[in-house]
Amino acid sequence: MLTLTPGQTGLATLEALWREGSPARLDPACLPRVEAAARQVREAAQGGAAVYGVNTGFGKLASVKIAAGDTEALQRNLILSHCCGVGEALDEATTRLMMALKLLSLGRGASGVRTQVVALIEGMLAAGVTPVIPVQGSVGASGDLAPLAHMTAVMIGEGEATVAGARLPGGAALARAGLSPVVLGPKEGLALINGTQFSTALALAALFDGWRLASASLVTACLSTDAIMGSTAPLQPEIHSLRGHKGQIEVAGAMRALMQGSEIRESHREGDSRVQDPYCIRCQPQVVGAAVDLLRFAATTLETEANAVTDNPLVTAAGILSGGNFHAEPVAFAADIIALALAEIGAIAQRRVALMVDPTLSHDLPPFLTPEPGLNSGLMIAEVTTAALMSENKHLANPCSTDSTPTSANQEDHVSMAAHGARRLGRMTRNLSIILGVEALCAAQGIGFRVPLRTSDRLQEALAAIRAVSPPLTDDRYLAPDIEAASALVASGTLAQAAGLEFAL
C-alpha cells in the first residue's frame, strides 16, 4: 500500500504505482483539512449568496441559481451529462494513476469534498475497480471533463468499470468489490471532474517510458559505435565541459564508462584513415543530452502538477474562490517537450541503423549485415521500418499546445489541448522502442562480424541480453518476432540493466 502525501508525492512513488499496480491511500494527516473544506462548502450551499458550482449552474449557465434542495440532483446531472467521451478505453494502469492523482488533488483540502469521497476512490484502487475511460473528448480546459466524468460515473453507480477481468456496469462492479456508490453533495461532482489528472497521468506514463528509452539509447549508441568501429574521442570530458549542458555532460560520461575496455575500440586507435565519424555517432551526447534536459524539465512540471489542486472553485481561508487552475497549459507544454525529445532520440538512432546497413559507411560490414548478401536481404527492411517510425514520430512531435478552439458557447474560449497532446506520446514511445530495438539487433549483428575482437565487458552483457531473445542472423528468417522481442528488451529497461547503466531522472 502506497501512502500519498498531498503536495509532496514524488515521481518515484507515482511510477511505482503505475508500473506495479499498487493500491494507494492518502496520508490520514490530510483528512481534517479535507473535511473542514467540505463543511465550508455545505455552509455556502445553505446560504443566500451565489457560489459557482455549489448553488449555481456550470460554464455558460453559471448565472442560474440552484435551490438548496436540488444540489444533489445538480451534481448527479453534471456527471451524467458530461459522460461524452468516445474512443478506445484508457489502459488500466494509467487509469489507476489518474485516480491516484485525483486523490492527491482532493487531499490538499481545497476542493470541498467529504472524506467519504476520498475513501471510495481509495477503496476502488484497493479492490481493483477500474473505471472504463474513453480516451477522446477532452480539450484540456475546464480540465479533463469527459474522462473524469466517466471515472466519477462509476462512483455514483453508473458508467462501466472492470474488476477481476470482467467489464461490468459501474454499480455492479462496486458491489462485486463490496463497495457502495456515493451520493454526491454540494460541489463534489464538480471537484471530481474539474482537473487535469487524465492529461497528467498520460504525460507521466510517457515520461516514465521515455526516460527508460533515453537510457537504453545510450547502450544502443555505444554498441553501434563499436559495430562501425567508431571513435570515442568525441566523448572526452573536456569537449562537454566547455559547453556546460548537464545532460550532454552526463550522457558523454555514461557512454565513456560503457565503452571502457573495448578491444574493438583499441584496435583502430592507430592507422585509421577516417578523421571523423558521422554526426549520428559523434553527436549522441549533444542530441540525447539535450533530450535528457528536456525530459527533466518536463518531469519538474509534471511532478508539480501531480501535487496540484486543479479544480474550480477552490475552498480557501479567504473564501470559495473562482479561478482557472483547471487550464492544463503546463501539461500541454510538458507533453510537447516530451514529444520533441522522443522524436530526436529516435531520429539520431535511426541514422545509426542506416549507417550500419550501408557498406559504404559501415567500415567493411557486409551489406545489410547479412553474411551472404544478394541471396539474403538481411536487415534491409528492418531499417526501412525504423525510417517509417522515425518519420511518424516527427509528424507526431508537432505541437498540440498551440492549437486552441473556443468551446461551451465561448465561455471556455482558450483551451490547452493537453489531453491528446499527452495521449499521442504513448504511440511515440512505442515507435521509439522499436527503433531502438532494431538498432540493438543491427549493432549486435555488426559486432558479431568484428570477432575475435570483443566490445567492453559491460556491452558484452548487453549483447548477451540481445542474443537471449534474438540469435545471430545467418540466412533470412521471419524477423517480426525478433523486432518485437528486441523492442520489449529496450522498453522494459532490461537492456540498460544488463549493461549496468543507472541513469537517474
Half-sphere exposure for 344 (CA within 13 Å, toward CB): 19
User: Is residue 54 scored above 90 in pLDDT?
Assistant: no
User: Is residue 35 scored above 90 in pLDDT?
Assistant: yes
Half-sphere exposure for 43 (CA within 13 Å, toward CB): 9
User: Is residue 126 scored above 90 in pLDDT?
Assistant: yes
Q: Residues 15, 17, 45, 52: which is the catalytic one?
A: 52
Structure confidence at residue 304 (pLDDT): 98
- The per-residue pLDDT for range 356-370, each reduced to its tens digit, is 999 999 999 999 999
State how far Cα 203 lies from the chain centre: 4
User: Is residue 56 scored above 90 in pLDDT?
Assistant: no
pTM (2 d.p.): 0.96
User: Is residue 155 scored above 90 in pLDDT?
Assistant: yes
Structure confidence at residue 71 (pLDDT): 86
Which triple of cell numbers denotes residue 105?
488533488
Q: Provide the terminal-to-terminal Cα distance of the chain, rounded to the nearest Å.
A: 24
User: Is residue 254 scored above 80 in pLDDT?
Assistant: yes
Predicted confidence band at 178 (pLDDT cuts at 50, 70, 90)? Answer: very high
Q: What is the mean pLDDT of residues 479-491?
A: 98
Which triple of cell numbers denotes residue 126?
484497493
Q: What is the mean pLDDT of residues 36-41?
A: 96
Predicted confidence band at 153 (pLDDT cuts at 50, 70, 90)? Answer: very high
Peptide bond into 452 cis (omega under 30): yes
- The per-residue pLDDT for range 258-299, each reduced to its tens digit, is 999 999 998 888 777 777 999 999 999 999 999 999 999 999
CA angle 130, 424, 392 (to 5 degrees): 145
Q: What is the mean pLDDT of residues 38-55?
A: 88
Calpha distance 100→95 (Å, rounded): 9
Catalytic: 52?
Answer: yes
Structure confidence at residue 397 (pLDDT): 98
Q: How far is CA 445 from CA 240, 442, 451, 476, 491, in A?
A: 31, 5, 11, 13, 20
Predicted confidence band at 504 (pLDDT cuts at 50, 70, 90)? Answer: confident
Residue 126, classified by CB atoms within 10 Å of its CB into exposed (0-12), middle (13-18) or buried (19+), is middle
Q: What is the mean pLDDT of residues 483-500?
A: 98
Predicted confidence band at 413 (pLDDT cuts at 50, 70, 90)? Answer: confident
User: Is residue 60 scored above 90 in pLDDT?
Assistant: no
Q: What is the mean pLDDT of the chain?
A: 96
Which triple of cell numbers denotes residue 53?
458550482
Structure confidence at residue 399 (pLDDT): 97
Peptide bond into 142 cis (omega under 30): yes
Predicted confidence band at 375 (pLDDT cuts at 50, 70, 90)? Answer: very high
323-327: list long-range contacts, CB under 8 Å, 24+ apart: 324/141, 326/141, 326/142, 326/143, 326/194, 326/195, 326/196, 327/140, 327/141, 327/142, 327/414, 327/415, 327/416
Q: What is the mean pLDDT of residues 333-354?
A: 98
User: Is residue 393 scored above 80 in pLDDT?
Assistant: yes
Structure confidence at residue 326 (pLDDT): 95
Half-sphere exposure for 181 (CA within 13 Å, toward CB): 19
User: Is residue 127 scored above 90 in pLDDT?
Assistant: yes
Structure confidence at residue 369 (pLDDT): 98
141 contacts: CB under 8 Å, gap ≥ 6: 324, 326, 327, 328, 329, 412, 414, 415, 416
Structure confidence at residue 61 (pLDDT): 77
Q: What is the mean pLDDT of residues 391-400?
A: 98
User: Is residue 3 scored above 80 in pLDDT?
Assistant: yes
Predicted confidence band at 62 (pLDDT cuts at 50, 70, 90)? Answer: confident
Higher pLDDT: 477 or 267? It is 477
In the block, residue with C-alpha cell 560490414 = 365
Largest CA distance in the chain: 89
